[in-house]
Amino acid sequence: MPDKWIPQEIEPKWQQRWEASGLYRARIDHSRPKHYALTMYPYPSGDLHIGHWYAMVPSDTRARWMRMRGYNVLFPMGFDAFGLPAENAAIKHKIHPKQWTYANIERMRKQLRSMGAMFDWERECVTCDPEYYRWTQWFFLKLYDAGLAYKKLSPVDFCPTCNTTLAREQVWGEDRHCERCNTLVVKRNLEQWFFRITAYAEELRDFSKLDWPERVVAMQRNWIGERSEGAEVIFRTEQGDHPLPVFTTRPDTLWGATFMVLAPEHPLVAELTTPERRAEVEAYVEQARRLADIMREAADREKTGVFIGAYAINPVNGQRIPIWIADYVLMTYGTGAIMAVPCGDQRDFEFAQKYGLPIPVVVAPRDWDGQPFSQAYEGPGIMVNSGPFSGFPTIGKYRLEEWTPELAQQYGLPAQLTSQNEGRHAVTRWLESKGLGKFAVAYKLRDWLISRQRYWGAPIPMITCPKCGIVPVPYHDLPVLLPEDVEFMPTGESPLKFHAGFRRVQCPRCGGEAERETDTMDTFMCSSWYQYAYMHKNWRAGEPVGPDAIPFDPVEGDYWLPVDQYTGGIEHATMHLLYTRFFTKAMRDMGLVKFDEPMLRLFNQGLILGEDGEKMSKSRGNVVAPDDLVQQYGADVVRGYLMFGFRWEQGGPWSSTGVLGIQRFLERVWNLVLETADLPLTGPDGSEQEAAVRQLQRRQHQTVRKATQDMESFSFNTMIAALMEFTNYLIKARETPVVHTPAWKEAIRTLLLLMAPAFPHISEELWERLGYAYSIHQQAWPEWDPELASEEIITIVVQVNGKLRDRFQAPADISEEEAKARALACAGIKKYLGDQTQFKAIYVPGRLVNLVTG
Ligand SMILES: [Zn+2]
Ligand SMILES: [Zn+2]
């Protein structure tokens, strides 16, 4: 009897040996193809939950498999360590966010190691390390230098009771209340930093170089929105002559713009509002602050607004037009101001009707009778009352390349239209020539707001000088260290604002007294470049860097980049996965990388639910803790169940009995391998033995084929099912003399190799006990021979009432059902069966089918 399998003993032993021997250190090796496998790094919440395991274990299994197939595999791990939870925990438990975060990281490192994954810990990155965020700040400066970072007034959610700005996830419910005190939140305007991701909108809509799930591609396309072409036109205010740039897709309707609408948060509202309108305007602004953007934009909501008493000048005809505010215009969209053309836009039409504003006609259908419109006309037509352009045909929202003879006929307009004689294009060119506007393109995508009024993040490396204005921190002064002695309890302002030692700084330009930016960066900024940071460990540590530095070791980067296989949750479809693509494209344009996309292939795993089928949560009491499971069953069992119990992309409810099934499977493998390890070889003996060996090899090669195909397609559940079937087959076969042949040893060896990626500990232990050299994880994945995997072909005879009438060829393992169906389909038996529909079919396995009538 072999000793018992005790995973709690063998697993830590192997984990230590792997670490000590540097088994998973990824080193450049030009003799092998490289494979950069990346799984999303965790936030250090302090506890590795089953969702982390579910994401990481199959990723590890596949990375191990690629390694066995001859690839030089890099599989790194790190921590996304800045962010709000650390601050909240600190406020709750009166412990410093830094202390809280690093203690959690320490704990999670241990938990991650218990998984037995092939992470290369030498490359670990922690985004709150100054050596890491120095480069995050470096990226900020590079984007600023490239004209891709700018500051603008923008609203944030604010809780008047807690006196603090809130992150999106801290605003709860349809009534938008504060997560902490239930007070209804309001909007407040702050000067904030944005990245010009919209500059790459067109390219970000192109997925031709990516092998990504269709669902993620669709979500990103929808997030970015369709390209809409038009013009940016500058209106000016009558009082104060402030420029009000407006984007319009219909510059051909400019002569019909009879009022302007600003977002209630627009910075000019307070200044432009006349004293007699002030009370009403302020009440309206107050009310709009309370509404969520999504409600304000809802199409079916009645549009409301207030005249602020001020006027703008329509640049094309010099007309005074009233300025209104309305909550359906958002500050975050474009410039926060729109021109309203009631005759050409139904929403503007209804607004004009409701408030008694003029509705002159400027684009009319061909057969217009000259009467006032009863609703807006948005289609192609003829420009009227439009100064030098009256009489021009216009194609409305169509693009020139879409303009067909059929459309021309439908609208009664010329078929031959060009940018010279078509109204919308001609007006744009005219605006450009007069300096009143320019051609512009817009998307639904907004620029990326990266300012956070929070403590636990990377400080934005900018300085404001009363003399020089905004001045970037010089590159060689990075990092701008986050001070530790900060009061981070909520005050309504960025905590760094109250740290005089941090805030006050000498202006790098004039040497005078200046102030640092006190907001910190969105943590999505840290994760936009972390795949590069893994090539970076200790790269130029401590040395000052300039604008021409490279944020990773260039030799490492040349070899490993870009990421070949990325894995992670679908919840990152739009933000993280879009931001990191933006970063990579900007890096390419800075000459830092030569490729266009950061992660070539992506796979999204599903979600593990509680045993009750509900989302796991402490309050429901359905949380499955991986630490407990590892203690009870060992990591290999947990790994195996997470891959066998679910289709990876789907997930599903946890099952305790399912875990036991994997435990039994591994016990059976353990006993089978050890109990047949030392049997004497007696060799093949006679033809029956030969057939048995042939059968054993067939099963082995079929299993290799199945496991290989399943690994390729991320079908871990069916891969493990194939290993179980093979094991069951071997358990039966061990009762036969085949157990004494070299083929048996080969079959067992193959089983262990196939198990190695999914069950790294037990396979390593058995490998060693069978006397093979360390390590199983440095062996090649088994090959399958199509010849040996093919089924033996046999001849089956078909009888009708006991008399031989036909025969057919079939694989030896044909099922009874299939054999009977094939027999009935034989051409030779038709005439013997005649009209008989009542008969019995008897199958003698591997030999004959007898059809008995009557
Ligand atoms: Zn509150
Ligand atoms: Zn200065």
722-746 confidence digits (pLDDT tens) = 999 999 999 999 998 899 999 999 9
Residue 774 pLDDT: 96
Quick one: CA dihedral 436, 439, 445, 449, positive or negative?
negative
Q: Ligand 2 centroid to 113 CA: how many Å?
A: 50
Distance from the alpha carbon of residue 522 to the mean position of ligand 1, in angstroms: 21
Q: For residue 506, which ligand has an atom nearest its CA? A: 2
Between the CA of 515 and the centroid of ligand 2 the distance, in Å, is 10
The number of beta carbons lying within 10 Å of the beta carbon of residue 825 is 11
**294 or 409, which is more confident:** 409
Across the range 445-452, mean pLDDT stands at 89
Average pLDDT score over the chain: 92
Could you give the angle at which helices 626-633 and 50-68 cross, rounded to 10 degrees?
Answer: 60
Helix H segments across 590-685? 626-633, 635-644, 656-675
Query: Tokens 């085949």 sit at which residue?
Result: 738
Q: What is the pLDDT of residue 507?
A: 97
Q: What is the pLDDT of residue 836?
A: 73
Residue 584 DSSP one-character state: H
In order of 189, 190, 338, 446, the CA distances from 266 in angstroms are 9, 11, 11, 17
pLDDT of 111 over the 60 cut: yes
339 contacts 245 by C-beta, under 8 angstroms: no
Cis peptide upstream of residue 775 (ω within 30 degrees of 0):
yes
| Rounded CA separation 621/614 (Å) | 10
Whole-prediction pTM:
0.85
Q: How far is the CA of 469 from the centre of ligand 2 (A)?
A: 7
Question: Which listed ligand is nearest to 472 at the C-alpha?
Answer: 2
The residue with greater pLDDT, 76 or 287, is 76
The one-letter amino acid at 441: V
Judged against a pLDDT cut of 70, whether residue 294 lies above it is answered with no
pLDDT tens, position by position, 667-718: 999 999 999 998 888 765 666 778 889 899 999 999 999 999 999 999 999 9
Instruction: Provide the pLDDT for residue 492.
Output: 64
Mean pLDDT of 114-134: 95
Q: What share of the chain is helix, strand, coil (3-state, %, to 5)?
A: 40, 20, 40
pLDDT of residue 794: 84
Q: Which ligand lies nearest the alpha carbon of 463? A: 2
Answer positive or negative: Cα dihedral of 377, 379, 380, 386.
positive
pLDDT of residue 584: 98
Ligand 2: distance of its center to the CA of 480 in Å? Answer: 18
Give 179 Cα–ligand 1 centroid separation in angstroms. Answer: 7
The alpha carbon of 164 and the centre of ligand 1 are apart by a number of angstroms equal to 7
pLDDT at 684: 56
- CA 618 to ligand 1 centroid distance, Å: 24
Helix (H, G, I), strand (E, B) or coil at 77: coil
- Do the beta carbons of residue 290 and residue 234 sit within 8 Å? no
Ligand nearest to the CA of 509: 2
- Residue-wise pLDDT tens digits, 189-243: 888 999 999 999 999 999 999 999 999 999 999 999 988 889 999 999 998 889 9
C-alpha 504 to ligand 2 mean position (Å): 13
CA of 471 to the centre of ligand 2 (A): 7
Quote the ligand 1 centre to 338 CA distance (angstroms): 33
Query: From the CA of 192, how far away is ligand 2's center (Å)?
Result: 20
Closest by CA to 82, choosing from 24, 125, 31, is: 125
Which positions ≥6 away from 507 have C-beta within 8 Å?
463, 465, 467, 468, 471, 513, 514
- Closest ligand to C-alpha of residue 471 is 2
The residues that bridge with 809 in the sheet, in sequence order, are 795
Rounded to the nearest 10°, the torsion over CA 38, 43, 44, 50 is -80
Phi-psi group of 429: left, alpha or beta (phi > 0 → left; psi -120 to 50 → alpha; rest → beta): alpha
DSSP state letter for 305 = -
Predicted confidence at residue 405, as pLDDT, reads 93
CA of residue 118 to ligand 2 center, whole Å: 51
* pLDDT tens figures, 263-287: 998 889 999 999 999 999 999 998 8
In this structure, which ligand is nearest to the CA of 510?
2
Q: Quote the ligand 2 centre to 509 CA distance (angstroms).
A: 5
- Higher-pLDDT residue of 429 and 169 is 429
Residue 378 Cα to ligand 1 midpoint, Å, equals: 45
What is the pLDDT confidence band of residue 1, given thresholds at 50, 70 and 90? low
Residues linked to residue 839 through DSSP beta bridges, in sequence order: 853
* Distance of CA 168 from the midpoint of ligand 1 (Å): 13
Q: Rounded to the nearest whole angstrom, what is the distance from the C-alpha of residue 147 to the centroid of ligand 2?
A: 21
What is the predicted pLDDT for the residue at 827? 81
Ligand nearest to the CA of 470: 2
Residue 541 has pLDDT above 70, yes or no: yes
**Exposed/middle/buried for residue 206 (C-beta within 10 Å: 0-12, 13-18, 19+):** exposed
The DSSP letter of residue 459 is: B
Closest ligand to C-alpha of residue 184 is 1
pLDDT of residue 539: 73
Ligand closest in space to the Cα of 505: 2
Ligand at minimal distance from the CA of 465 is 2
Ion ligand 1 residue ranges (Cβ < 5 Å): 159, 161-162, 178, 180-181, 183
Q: Quick check: bond before 479 cis, omega within 30?
A: yes
- What separation in Å is there between the alpha carbon of 467 and the centre of ligand 2? 5
Q: What's the gap in Å between 854 CA and the centre of ligand 2?
A: 107
| Nearest partner of 848 among 780, 805, 796, judged by Cα | 796
Q: Percent of the chain having pLDDT more than 90?
A: 72
Q: What angle do CA 429, 435, 440 make, to 5 degrees?
A: 55
Ligand with an atom nearest the CA of residue 166 = 1
What's the pLDDT tens digit per position in 830-846?
888 777 777 888 999 88
Distance in angstroms (rounded) separating the CA atoms of residues 788 and 780 = 19
Region 52-60: mean pLDDT is 97
- For residue 172, give the ligand nearest its CA: 1
CA 464 to centroid of ligand 2, rounded, Å: 8
How much distance in Å is there from the Cα of 183 to the middle of ligand 1? Answer: 5
Structure-block tokens of residue 102: 């690093």
Distances in whole angstroms, Cα of residue 676 to Cα of each of 129, 376, 536, 770, 782: 53, 85, 48, 10, 21
- Rounded to the nearest whole angstrom, what is the distance from the C-alpha of residue 462 to the centroid of ligand 2? 12
